[in-house]
Amino acid sequence: MKNNINIPIQPLLIGKVGKSYGILGWITIFSFTEEKEKIFSYLPWFFYKEKKWTKIIVDDWKKYKNNFIIHIKEISNRSIIKKFTNSDIIISQYTLPKLKKNNYYWTDIINCQVFNIDKNYLGKVIELTRTKNNDILIIQNPFKISKKNILIPFVENTIIKNIKINNKLIIVQWNKMTYSK
């Protein structure tokens, strides 16, 4: 099996490319990392747009308003850089630091099966979202009664009782009646 170093291994989305900035090849980016500047710790980056991968090397970056502007090595032309607008910023998952026991990344939680403490199946985690107060698990509802997704606050020890990443299993304190309206 050929390993192409210009394509990420276990791709992980960490940001989005915005519009070009100035005439010297700078472009705006939006970081999806919890601490926004951490995006620069996870290199190399791959831009993904229209089913095409481009490995890039950031040679400079600056804080700009609530986001960042970056300069890519060997690009100093606005017309070239603007082709990357709306690209996803992807890394290889192995570039993330190893976590301590009982810690996990959001990507580890996606596709976990969710059961309540009464052993009732609630569905599969399809997404997580961040709110002002806490993160929210978005569970794909497996029941035909309601096609609405189930939203469960990610409050450890109170609502989230147990997470077994290796088994892709989450146990929650959540009553089926809560979402059966």
Contact 45, 58 (CB under 8 A): yes
Contact 21, 69 (CB under 8 A): yes
40: its two tokens:
């620069």
What pLDDT is attached to residue 4? 54
For residues 44 and 87, membership in a common domain is answered with yes
Q: Is the pTM of this model over 0.85?
A: no
What pLDDT is attached to residue 90? 95
What pLDDT is attached to residue 179? 46
Q: Which domain holds residue 166?
A: 106-176
What pLDDT is attached to residue 74? 92
For residues 73 and 111, membership in a common domain is answered with no
72: its two tokens:
């890519």
CA–CA distance, 60 with 72 (Å, rounded to integer):
7
For residues 16 and 64, membership in a common domain is answered with yes
Residue recorded with tokens 């060997």: 74
What pLDDT is attached to residue 18? 96
Tell which residue, 124, 97, 122, has the closest CA to residue 113: 124
**Positions in the chain short of pLDDT 70:** 1-4, 144-146, 176-181
For residues 140 and 171, membership in a common domain is answered with yes
What pLDDT is attached to residue 181? 35
**How many domains are contained in the chain?**
2
CA–CA distance, 39 with 77 (Å, rounded to integer):
24
For residues 36 and 56, membership in a common domain is answered with yes
For residues 87 and 162, membership in a common domain is answered with no
For residues 18 and 81, membership in a common domain is answered with yes
Q: What is the CATH number of the domain that holds 117?
A: 2.30.30.240
